[in-house]
Structure 1
Amino acid sequence: MKIGTVTFHCAYNFGSALQTYALKKYLIGLGHEVHVLDYRSRDFDNYKIFRRFGLKSDIADLLFLFGNLRRRDSFQSFWRDHFNMTERTYTGTGAEQELSEDLKNYDAFICGSDQIWNLDCTQGPVPPFFLSFASDETRKIAYAPSLSHARFEERNFTLEDQKNIRAWLNRFDSISVREISVAGQFQQLTDKNIVETLDPTLLLDLQEYRRVQASCLPKGLEEGKYIFAYTLWPNDDMIRYLDKFASDRDLTIVYYSRNPIRYKSRSVNVWGIGPADFLTLIDKANCVVSNSFHATVFSILYGKPFLTFGTEKSSSRMKTLLAKLGLPEEHLLPVHFTGDGSIKPFASELDTDKLRKLRADSERFLNDALK
């Protein structure tokens, strides 16, 4: 079967890239021909390396030029090597029509995962993320898109938006989401059953990630001698915690940030690395401290000691993930955690039977959807 997937594949974000890779890799393992549709929605401008939002933005781009270029090249290299993207890039007002005209020979389309259905993120529904371009004859499947919020802002979920989403959902053959707890907003718009499936990154075994991770650490780093601190959102409490913890244990803080963070402890900024390096940094770390969903996922898969700082937006997702996998909720720190470095990241043995059952349910959903 020839399948096209559509997601946030081209954001310069480790989780976006790795979930895109994971779903494509899994489907290929089932014997399908898979292409990532190179569709870039209007909010891709927020993820561009060079955004041209004005003089202040231009100055910042110049100040961080080397790291920005390295970051762009690292990600684009990963895309080229592992995504099998369509030759044509689809963007702008004509993208929906172009997708419809160019992709008539596909047997199925799958939208998901990531937050393509988080209307507050996309500032309202984006039609191609609901497979609006697909013909009636083509199978249409939603695999684990995230809505993220239990209630969207009214301006992003207007009555007109709800009318459109209702029409799109009713064209799907199978619908799943990543967090069923927030799916009610869409379930009320359709009689089709919406079920919960795993994030695609959890469909693959660890050896699949070891095959694509970088062969060595960035220069100057030594295995087991650093904390990998991955901060998606700035967090002063996390900075204070890391400083204390690293100082007490003589560990280097390895972090990823365009703007340097003023740690008191020894630190290394790895801004510019790509997804392959991200995996290696987790694999070789003494421990991982983050406020990222996917950094948490890969800490679990690699069996690393970890702590995750909760955020207003992500704590519910983190709790759901830990509960699903049977892991202690103590891995998740409160949103406003002000403790010192005495609380240590710790490893928990993954319940492989529980993960196997969760995978089986998600695999069954995909297999049934593609019949």
Structure 2
Amino acid sequence: FAEFSYGIKHTKRVYTAADIDECVDDFDIFVVGSDQIWGIENDMPLINLPIMCLNFLPKNKVGITYAASFGGMRASSRNDEIIKNEIKNFRYVSVRERSASRYIQEIHGIAPEVVLDPVFLLDEGEWRSVANESDESCEPYLLFYTAGADPRQEEILLNLYEQLNVKVRRLGYIDGELIGPKEFITWIKNAKYILTDSFHATVFSIIFHKNVVVLPVDNKQKDISKNSRLIDLLETFGMKERYISDIADAQNAVKNAEKLFAQAVDYDHVEKTLEVERQKSFKYIKVALESQNDTMSDCDNGSIGDEPDNRPQRYYMKSISKNASMDRMKYENAYWEEFVARQALLRAYYNEIERSDLMLKVAKVEAAGAFIDNYLIESKSIFIYGAGKLGKSLLMCFKKVDGFFDKANSITNCEGIHVYQPYSDEARLEIGDGSGITVVVTPVWDFYDIKEELVCEYRNIHPVSAKELVEQMLQKLV
């Protein structure tokens, strides 16, 4: 990946959420996207959303989104309010999925343009030039690439392997030094069959005219879910039949996949649709980029949708009154100052606890009581969803407290403490399915990614050591 990234132009300086506003004088137009830049529920801390909505831009700068996506965001009243307020920072808004456009229209009143994922803006020939031509394989193979971790997918794969009688190549969470973007593209280009639940694996399958079958990510059929990305994509190109919506019955799913692999995709129709959508996407980019000479005063009339005549209404999303702008600016400044202050506090605390074996940052002092009162007494297990070594260290803290397991078992029938570690160091704050409680250990950059079930106000949060948390829990249990 590092080798591939050398060919991409970057700024010399890497900006963070704390200093991103220092770059505003260096550029005229700011574009965010594509992909899941607004995946606030699953894929990013909530505090990052204002940054992803360019809330640091002055009014004389142009903010644009291209093919923005919510990923698997769970719609809620809190999300509605955040998106409704923050999306007004943009001069032009486009999204990648129709479901995202419907969602924004519902909460904002204007449906943004739906454009192609930027991968589609290069044609097959351009992507072939990126792939490793020397890796051509004479032996046909089925490429299996999954972004999820559903064991039913494995069962489907094993059955297809026997039925299709071809070699299987797997892509997954592989070290970037072994498999980079070039290899990823090459393996898709050379595959005979592709079985995937990945959005971009499906995109490249379409570009290279592959015999592809698409599986659901989480087997849920919601309007705003990770599956909606795949469904929208396939529907756009008339390929909805390539999607197996239900894999609960693995044997039936295998039969459907076999039947689909035996059918050819009408790529003549796909190419015609792709060219139309590609031109529409290029038009959006052209209109948006040519808007840098327009000032926000042209449309500061207090009514959303009253745009200058030379701007298509579907593109245009910005207009709030000057008073509303000032009120919002005061709110954002206070919000930002508090965030920066808390980040400094957390950094100092984090530096301190790194020097101690027993000290770890966890969610909230009040949350310790909430865990006990609302979940632990009725639970059979305690779940620690940690961040790599932090989770293991917290488990050690519990073990070092004399009598914890005895008291927990006698009072709550606790079967034990379980440590859950994510793929990366970014922990999520989650309540389980009701069978246990969640004790959260999170690195500093995820500190504000907190769900309403646990914490009502992020302003009330402050770090507490694991030892202190255990002591509080024991006091509750006595």
Q: Structure 2-normalised TM-score?
A: 0.53
CA distance in 2, matches of 1:244, 1:166: 46
Q: Is the 8 A contact 1:223 1:284 kept in 2?
A: no
Q: Which residue of structure 2 aligns with residue 100 of structure 1?
A: 21
Correspondence for 1:368 among 274, 277, 287: 287
Q: Which residue of structure 1 aligns with residue 259 of structure 2?
A: 343
Deviation at 1:274, TM superposition (A): 0.7
Q: Is the 8 A contact 1:216 1:280 kept in 2?
A: no
SS of residue paired to 2:209: coil
Deviation at 1:224, TM superposition (A): 4.4
Q: Is the 8 A contact 1:282 1:298 kept in 2?
A: yes
After superposition, residues 295-334 of structure 1 pair within 5 angstroms as 295-311=201-217, 312=220, 313-327=225-239, 329-334=240-245
Q: Is the 8 A contact 1:150 1:183 kept in 2?
A: no
CA distance in 2, matches of 1:231, 1:213: 21
Deviation at 1:307, TM superposition (A): 0.5
CA distance in 1, matches of 2:205, 2:84: 37
Q: In the alignment, does 2:131 pair up with 1:213?
A: yes
CA distance in 1, matches of 2:64, 2:110: 12
Q: Is the 8 A contact 1:229 1:254 kept in 2?
A: yes
Correspondence for 2:65 among 142, 167, 174: 142
Unaligned runs of 5+ in 1: 1-74, 260-268
Deviation at 1:293, TM superposition (A): 1.0
RMSD: 2.6
Q: Which residue of structure 1 aligns with residue 340 of structure 2?
A: none
CA offsets, 1:162-218, max 9 Å, x none? 2xx44432232111111232334444554665221111111221111112122333x
Q: In the alignment, does 2:44 pair up with 1:122?
A: yes
Would you tell me which structure has more strand in proportion to its own residues? 1
Seen in structure 2, the aligned counterparts of structure 1 residues 113 and 236 have a Cα distance that, compared at 3 Å, is same
Q: Is the 8 A contact 1:224 1:284 kept in 2?
A: no
Counterpart residue type for residue 252 of structure 1:
K
Q: State the 4+ residue runs in structure 1 displaced beyond 4 angstroms.
A: 188-193
Correspondence for 2:179 among 273, 280, 292: 273
CA distance in 2, matches of 1:320, 1:224: 33
Deviation at 1:112, TM superposition (A): 0.9
Q: Is the 8 A contact 1:225 1:252 kept in 2?
A: yes
CA distance in 1, matches of 2:176, 2:140: 15
CA offsets, 1:135-160, max 9 Å, x none? 32221111110123575245x6275x
SS of residue paired to 2:229: helix
Q: In the alignment, does 2:96 pair up with 1:178?
A: yes
Deviation at 1:84, TM superposition (A): 0.8
Q: Is the 8 A contact 2:211 2:264 kept in 1?
A: yes
SS of residue paired to 1:126: helix
Q: Which residue of structure 1 aligns with residue 121 of structure 2?
A: 203
Q: Which residue of structure 2 aligns with residue 157 of structure 1?
A: 79
Q: Is the 8 A contact 1:148 1:182 kept in 2?
A: no
Q: In the alignment, does 2:159 pair up with 1:238?
A: no
Seen in structure 2, the aligned counterparts of structure 1 residues 227 and 147 have a Cα distance that, compared at 3 Å, is same
Q: In the alignment, does 2:31 pair up with 1:110?
A: yes
Q: How many residues are treated as equivalent by the alignment? A: 274
CA distance in 2, matches of 1:333, 1:279: 23
Deviation at 1:241, TM superposition (A): 2.1
Q: Is the 8 A contact 1:108 1:140 kept in 2?
A: yes
CA distance in 2, matches of 1:334, 1:271: 34
After superposition, residues 283-294 of structure 1 pair within 5 angstroms as 283-294=189-200
Q: In the alignment, does 2:235 pair up with 1:353?
A: no
Q: Is the 8 A contact 1:141 1:175 kept in 2?
A: yes
SS of residue paired to 2:56: coil
Counterpart residue type for residue 35 of structure 2:
D
Counterpart residue type for residue 244 of structure 2:
L
Q: Is the 8 A contact 1:223 1:285 kept in 2?
A: no
CA distance in 2, matches of 1:78, 1:214: 12
Counterpart residue type for residue 259 of structure 2:
I
Unaligned runs of 5+ in 2: 291-478
Counterpart residue type for residue 348 of structure 1:
V
SS of residue paired to 1:369: helix
* Identical-pair percentage: 27
Q: Is the 8 A contact 1:150 1:182 kept in 2?
A: no
Deviation at 1:344, TM superposition (A): 4.6
Q: Which residue of structure 2 aligns with residue 31 of structure 1?
A: none
Seen in structure 2, the aligned counterparts of structure 1 residues 101 and 228 have a Cα distance that, compared at 3 Å, is same
SS of residue paired to 1:253: strand
Q: Structure 1-normalised TM-score?
A: 0.67
Counterpart residue type for residue 122 of structure 1:
M
Q: Which residue of structure 2 aligns with residue 266 of structure 1?
A: none
Would you tell me which structure has more helix in proportion to its own residues? 2
